[in-house]
Amino acid sequence: MKILVIAEHDNHTINAATENVITAGLSLGDGVDVLVAGHQCRAVAEKLSILKGVNQVLMADHQVYQHHLPENCAKLIAQQASEYDAVLGAANTFGKNLLPRVAALLDVEQVSDVIEIQSETIYKRPIYAGNIIQTVENKERIKVLTIRTTAFAGQQVEQDPVQILDLDTVIDNTQSRFVGLEQTQSTRPDLTAAKVVVSGGRGFQNSENFTLIEKLADALGAAIGATRAAVDAGFVANDYQIGQTGKIVAPELYIAIGISGAIQHLAGMKDSKYIVAINKDPDAPIFQIADVGIVGDLFEILPALEEALKKQNLIT
Amino acid sequence: MIILVPVKRVIDPYVRVRVKNDQIDKTNLNMTMNPFDEIAVEEAIRMKEKNPAVEIILVSVGDGDCQETLRHGLALGADRAIHVATENELLPLAIAKILQVMSEKNNVDLVLMGKQAIDGDHNQTGQMLAALLDWPQGTFASQVDLDKAEVRVTREVDGGLETLALKLPAVLTTDLRLNEPRYAALTHIMKAKNKPLESIPLEALGVEATDKQKILKVELPPVRQGGKMVSSVDELVECLAQAQVLPL
């Protein structure tokens, strides 16, 4: 199969998700081509050209592609895609925005959020926020897939640089205009990409108490999450919400504090590698799925846990 | 200004879905409007409250029960509804093709829809519709400001907020933070019974669905082996150290 991977970048650096997508692509074929659309993005193309598994980099470097707007980028990708058997992107806000538009231009159905590739045509994907796993057979002429990056390894091995092919296709976009990007001002990692997530629920009782979570999170270099109940009660803003209608996370370590474990919350975090639950109710459903649980008052356990981790030099 | 709001009938997000005979067991489950679509309906109603010249058309594709979901949307404040009747479960591109016909037929200026349905979780239909119509798209919207010929949309992207200006007509898909949907007042529920709801068979639209994609199986994910309890913080720390999940 001939595979085309769509690179995600900010014209200077590659988003790590692209490397997970390359790994997924290599389970479909012997090598992948990577398309970089952007402006003054040669550095990105050069970095991609030395990643093992990459056969060729296609680069469309022009002002019209600077902000990666889907109106013209999708047309550019669809033009190139006719030479390929599969087009892959990450199932994050970048890929989710762009790839379905490409699929529609190619007149094929897409498969979203692929977590396992069994063969060229058969894949697994979560539905109902991961409560059900679906096996899909896809016989479309061109396979357009978005890849759940947490399910595929990142790619780090390097090779001698391969060819960078300049694409001179310039497709103008008069329909949409980039106004600005306000990056979340946080020293903490992004919730969906964090290795450690410390998450709080209604057990914190109010927003002032909820700030107690910050100390532990910062000591662990963790992102902070919350349940829908905590968000609805006004403890934290909506973008902290983990669950079926919020963000889906799968970190190495998930510490659930004062969280009972409602179905809709579990749907957003149960693929975490290691789950710790702290709750005063011994019957809370969260304990059934946690790797380790402790029953008690979070206002006593939280400081004691910080202290104990510090004493053993396990955190800073 | 005509706003089209596609809505999907889904299993209540607070209900646990089950698998029976390799299929999702939908018997006796509470059904509801897809939560993201509810946010789209709310946003359209707010636009209408600012500008009474706005007309809100709802559309839903599926079996006869979808009409109940459409009535709910009418009770919330939409003007009229179209039910595209089919017993088949259609994939996003087929739905997008139906919505393309609906948008063209009804001279739609703006499509407001949920970013994804909470059952299939595809997150594709809005983007596909925008491609088919060759309209700009503003996905995962957390703020929308409507001007005469332009719409400003703030998008929730990984790690931040991106703002775009789109020329109308356009397709917008809603994220959670856009608004908090209202409840339907009893008087509005009564009034909604008299609002126009038209049902069209899918065949009348000339849209063909692909048979290139098939669901081979649905299953529950592997069950997590949890349940270990400790009685002290020291034991907890020991577990964490053993599992080697701490960043240091």
The complex's ipTM works out to 0.94
User: How many CB pairs (< 8 A) connect A and B?
Assistant: 271
Name the burial class of residue A227, with classes exposed (0-12), middle (13-18) and buried (19+) by CB atoms within 10 angstroms of its CB.
buried
Contacts of B22 in chain A (CB under 8 A): none
**Average of per-residue pLDDT across A177-200:** 87
Count of structural domains within chain B? 1
Nearest CA in chain A to B234: A308
Where residue A208 falls among pLDDT bands split at 50, 70, 90?
A: very high
B7, B130, B52, B36: which is closest to A244 by C-alpha? B36
3-state secondary structure string across chain B: CEEEEECCEEECCCCCCEEECCEEECCCCCEEECHHHHHHHHHHHHHHHHCCCCEEEEEEEECCCHHHHHHHHHHHCCCEEEEEECCCCCCHHHHHHHHHHHHHHCCCCEEEEECCCCCCCCCCHHHHHHHHHCCCEEEEEEEEEECCCEEEEEEEECCEEEEEEEECCEEEEECHHHCCCCCCCHHHHHHHCCCCEEEEEHHHHCCCCCCCEEEEEEECCCCCCCCCEECCHHHHHHHHHHHCCCCC
Contact yes or no for A314 and B246 at CB 8 A: yes
Q: Which of A55-64, A228-237, B197-206 has the lowest mean pLDDT?
A: A228-237
Residue B239 has pLDDT above 80, yes or no: yes
Across the interface, whether the CB atoms of B118 and A312 are under 8 A apart is answered no
Q: Taking residues A97-121, report their average pLDDT.
A: 97
Does residue A146 surpass a pLDDT of 90? Answer: yes
**Which of chain A's residues have a Cβ under 8 Å away from the Cβ of B239?**
276, 291-292
Q: Is the CB of B161 less than 8 angstroms away from the CB of A193? A: no
The answer to whether the beta carbons of residues A291 and B243 sit under 8 Å apart is yes
Residue B184 lies in a domain: yes
**What is the predicted pLDDT for the residue at B248?**
67
> What is the per-residue pLDDT for B32?
96
Domain limits, CATH 3.40.50.620, in chain A: 3-166
For A277-294, how does the pLDDT look when each residue is reduced to its tens digit (9 = 90+)? Answer: 999 999 999 999 999 999
B29 part of contact set with chain A, CB < 8 Å: no
- How large is the angle between the packed helices B92-105 and B125-133, nearest 10 degrees? 50
pLDDT at position A184? 67
Within-domain flag for B123: yes
Cβ contact, residue pair B221, A316, below 8 Å: no
Residue in B with minimal Cα distance to A91: B123
Under an 8 A CB cutoff, do B156 and A239 touch? Answer: yes
Residue B26 clears pLDDT 90, i.e. is over it: no
Closest CA to A5 of A124, A125, A143: A143
* Mean pLDDT over the full length of chain B: 94
- Looking at 3.40.50.620, 3.40.1260.10, 3.30.930.10, 2.102.10.10, the CATH number of the domain A3-166 comes to 3.40.50.620
Cα A178 to chain center, whole Å?
23
Average pLDDT, chain A: 93
Record: contact A220-B213, CB cut-off 8 A: no
Report residue B93 CA to chain centroid gap: 15
Least confident interval from A69-73, A226-230, B46-50, B83-87: A226-230
Look at residue B238 and tell me if it is in a domain.
yes
Q: How many CA atoms lie within 13 A of B131 on its CB side?
A: 31
Decide if B136 and A71 are in contact by the 8 Å CB cutoff: yes
**Range scoring the smallest mean pLDDT among A83-87, B17-21, B234-238:** B17-21
B213 touches chain A (CB under 8 A): yes
Q: Kindly identify which residue of chain A lies nearest to residue B165, measuring between CA atoms.
A: A177
Q: Considering chain B, what percentage of its residues have pLDDT values greater than 90?
A: 81
Cross-chain Cβ contact A137/B237 below 8 Å = no
Burial group, residue A85, by CB count within 10 angstroms (0-12, 13-18, 19+): middle
Better-predicted residue by pLDDT, B3 or A309: B3
Has residue A315 got a pLDDT over 80? Answer: no
What CATH code is carried by the domain that includes residue B22? Answer: 3.40.50.620
Closest residue to B213, CB basis, from A99, A138, A274 = A138
Asked if B30 has any chain A CB less than 8 Å from its own CB, the reply is no
Which member of A92, A100, A246 has the closest CB to residue B158? A92
Q: Would an 8 Å CB–CB cutoff place B165 in contact with chain A?
A: yes
Contact criterion met (CB below 8 Å) for A33 and A61: no
B159 pLDDT more than 70: no
The minimal CB distance from A244 to the residues B13, B131, B233 is found for: B13
Between helix A70-81 and helix B125-133 the angle, nearest 10°, is 90
Point out the least confidently predicted range of B44-53, B126-135, B203-212.
B203-212
Least confident of A89-93, A106-110, A120-124, B102-106: A89-93
Q: Does the pLDDT at position B63 exceed 70?
A: yes
Tell me the C-alpha distance between A69 and B163, whole Å: 11
Question: For residue B221, what pLDDT band results from cuts at 50, 70 and 90?
Answer: confident
* Per-residue confidence band for A188, with pLDDT thresholds at 50, 70 and 90: confident
Domain that holds residue B161: 2-243
Backbone φ, ψ for residue B24 (5° rounding): -75, 125
Contact B127 A101 (CB under 8 A): yes
Instruction: Give the C-alpha distances (Å, rounded to integers) separating A97 from A8, A67, A89, A222, B123.
Output: 12, 13, 10, 27, 9
What residues of chain B lie within 8 A of the CB of A291, using their CB?
A: 226, 228, 239, 243
Q: Does B135 touch chain A (CB under 8 A)?
A: yes
A288 φ, ψ (degrees, to nearest 5): -70, -25
Task: Give me the mean pLDDT over the A172-176 stretch.
Answer: 97
What pLDDT is attached to residue B226? 81
B14 or B182: which leads in pLDDT = B182
Considering the domain boundaries, does residue B248 fall inside one? Answer: no
Report, at the CATH architecture level, how domain A196-311 is classified. Answer: 3-Layer(aba) Sandwich (3.40)
Report CB contact under 8 Å: B164, A179: yes
Residue B235 inside a domain? The answer is yes
Q: Is the predicted pLDDT of residue A295 greater than 90, yes or no?
A: yes
**B149 part of contact set with chain A, CB < 8 Å:** no
- CA-to-CA distance for B2 and B4, rounded, in angstroms? 7
- Picking from A137, A178, A290, the nearest residue to B164 by CB comes out as A178
